[in-house]
A and B are shown apart, each in its own frame.
Chain A
Amino acid sequence: MKRLGLSGNYAVAYAVKMADVDVIAAYPITPQTTIVEKLSDFVANGELDAEYINVESEHSAMSACVGASLTGARVFTATSSQGLAYMHEVLFMASTLRTPIVMANVNRALSAPLNIWNDHSDAMAERDSGWIQLWASSAQEAFDTTIEAFKIAEDILLPVMVNFDGFIVSHTYEPVTLPDEEEVRRYIPSKPLTNRLSPRLAYSVGVVGPPEYYYEMKYQAVDAMERSRQRIKEIEADFNQRFGKDYKDINTYYMEDAEYALLIMGSMTGTARVVAESLRRRGEKAGVVSIRWFRPFPFERLAEILKGVRGVGVIDRAVTPGGPSNPLFVDVASGLYGMTERSVLQSFVAGLGGRDVPTDEFEMMFSRTKEAARNGRAGPCVYVGLRE
Chain B
Amino acid sequence: MSTALRTIKDVPKEEYFAPGNRLCAGCTAATAIRQILKASGRNVVVVTATGCVEVATSYFPQSAWRVPWVHVAFENAAAVASGIESAMKALNRKKKSDEKPHVIALGGDGGTFDIGLQSLSGALERGHDFLYICYDNEAYMNTGIQRSSATPYCAATTTCPPGKLSAGQSTQKKDLVAIAVAHGIPYAATACPSYPFDLMNKVRRALDVEGPALLHVLTPCPTGWRFDIDRGIDVGKLAVMTGLWPLYEVVNGVTKLTVQVPRREPVKRYLEVQGRFKHVKDEDVKRIQERTDLLAAKFGLGPVRQ
Give Cα distance in the complex from A60 to B125, angstroms.
14
A70 to B81, CA, bound (A): 11
Q: Is there a chain B Cβ closer than 8 Å to A195's Cβ?
A: yes
- CB of B122 within 8 Å of the partner chain: yes
| Cα–Cα distance between A90 and B96 once the two chains are bound (Å) | 27
Q: Enumerate B235-291 residues with CB–CB distance to A below 8 Å.
A: none
Residue among A65, A68, A97, A196 having the largest count of chain B Cβ atoms under 10 Å: A68
User: Nearest-CB distance from B176 to chain A (Å)?
Assistant: 18
The contact of A55 among B58, B68, B89, B122, by CB within 8 Å, is: B122
- Distance to closest chain A CB from B75 (angstroms): 7
Q: B82 contacts A207, CB within 8 Å?
A: no
Given contacts A68-B83, A202-B65, contact A56 B73 (CB under 8 A): no
Given contacts A90-B73, A207-B58, contact A199 B68 (CB under 8 A): yes
Contact code string A47-73 (vs B, CB < 8 Å = 1, else 0): 001110111110111011111111111
Nearest to A191 among chain B residues (CB) is: B96
Binds B, one of A132-140, A160-168, A208-216, A366-374: A208-216
Closest to B97 in A: A192
- CB <8 Å contact, B79 and A63: yes
Q: Contact between A199 and B45 (Cβ–Cβ < 8 Å)? A: yes
The closest CB in chain B to the CB of A89 belongs to B73
How many angstroms between the C-alpha atoms of A196 and B97 in the bound complex? 13
Min Cβ gap B132→A in Å is 14
Are A72 and B87 in touch, CB under 8 angstroms? yes
A67 touches B69 (CB 8 A): no
Query: Are B86 and A51 within 8 A (Cβ)?
Result: yes
Any A CB within 8 A of the CB of B178? no
- Cβ of A324 within 8 Å of any chain B Cβ, yes or no, is no
B66 lies within 8 A of A202 (CB) = yes
Instruction: Tell me the complex Cα distance, A61–B125, Å.
Output: 15
Whether, in the assembled complex, B179 has its beta carbon less than 8 Å from a beta carbon of chain A, the answer is no
CB-based nearest A residue for B75: A59
Asked whether B80 is an interface residue with its Cβ less than 8 Å from the other chain, the reply is yes
The answer to whether B122 touches A56 (Cβ under 8 A) is yes
Interface residues of B in 61-96 (CB under 8 A from A): 61, 63, 65-73, 75-76, 78-84, 86-91, 93-94, 96
Q: Tell me what chain B mostly uses at the interface: helix, strand, loop, or mixed.
A: mixed
CB of A205 within 8 Å of the partner chain: yes
Q: Is B119 an interface residue (CB 8 A)?
A: yes
B73 touches A49 (CB 8 A): no
CA distance A57 to B45 in the complex (A): 23
Question: What's the least CB distance linking A202 to chain B, in Å?
Answer: 5
Contact, CB under 8 Å: B76 / A60: yes
Q: Is the CB of A64 within 8 A of B80?
A: yes
- Which of B45, B65, B79, B101 has the largest count of A CB atoms less than 10 A from its CB? B79
> Chain B residues with Cβ under 8 A from A67's Cβ?
47, 70, 72, 79-84, 87
Q: How far is the CA of A57 from the CA of B78 in the complex (A)?
A: 12
Interchain Cβ contacts within 8 Å, total number? 168
Looking at the complex, which one of A64, A192, A199, A213 makes contact with B91 (CB distance below 8 Å)?
A192
A357 at the interface (CB under 8 A from B): no
Q: Is B118 an interface residue (CB 8 A)?
A: yes
B43 at the interface (CB under 8 A from A): yes
Docked pose: A275 CA to B187 CA in angstroms: 66
Which residues in chain B, 30-82, are within 8 Å of chain A measured between CB atoms? Answer: 42-45, 47, 54-55, 58-61, 63, 65-73, 75-76, 78-82
- A202 contact set on B, CB distance < 8 A: 42, 65-69
* B97 lies within 8 A of A72 (CB): yes
Which residue from chain B places its CB closest to the CB of A212 in the assembled complex? B60
Shortest Cβ distance from residue A228 to the other chain B in the assembled complex, whole angstroms: 23
Contact (Cβ within 8 A) A57 B73: no
Residues on B with C-beta less than 8 A from A51 are 86-87, 89-90
B146 at interface by CB-CB < 8 Å: no
* CB contact under 8 A between A71 and B65, given known A55-B79, A59-B75, A208-B59: no
Chain B residues near A65 (CB, 8 Å)?
A: 83
Alpha-carbon distance A68/B45, docked complex (angstroms)? 12
Tell me whether B45 and A64 are in contact (CB under 8 A): no
Contact B94 A63 (CB under 8 A): no
* Chain A 297-324: CB-based contact to B (< 8 A → 1; otherwise 0): 0000000000000000000000000000
Using a CB–CB distance below 8 Å, which chain B residues touch chain A? 42-45, 47, 54-55, 58-61, 63, 65-73, 75-76, 78-84, 86-91, 93-94, 96-97, 99, 101, 118-119, 121-122, 125-126
**Chain A interfacial positions (CB closer than 8 Å to B):** 22-23, 25, 49-51, 53-57, 59-61, 63-73, 75, 89-90, 93, 97, 190-192, 195-210, 213, 217
Q: Could you list 18 further interchain pairs (A-B, Cβ under 8 angstroms) beyond the known A68-B87, A199-B45?
A: A22-B94, A23-B87, A25-B83, A49-B94, A59-B79, A63-B76, A63-B119, A64-B83, A67-B84, A72-B87, A90-B76, A190-B94, A190-B96, A198-B99, A199-B42, A199-B43, A203-B68, A207-B71
What are 10 A-B pairs at a CB distance below 8 A?
A49-B90, A49-B94, A53-B83, A93-B72, A93-B73, A197-B84, A199-B42, A205-B70, A208-B54, A210-B60
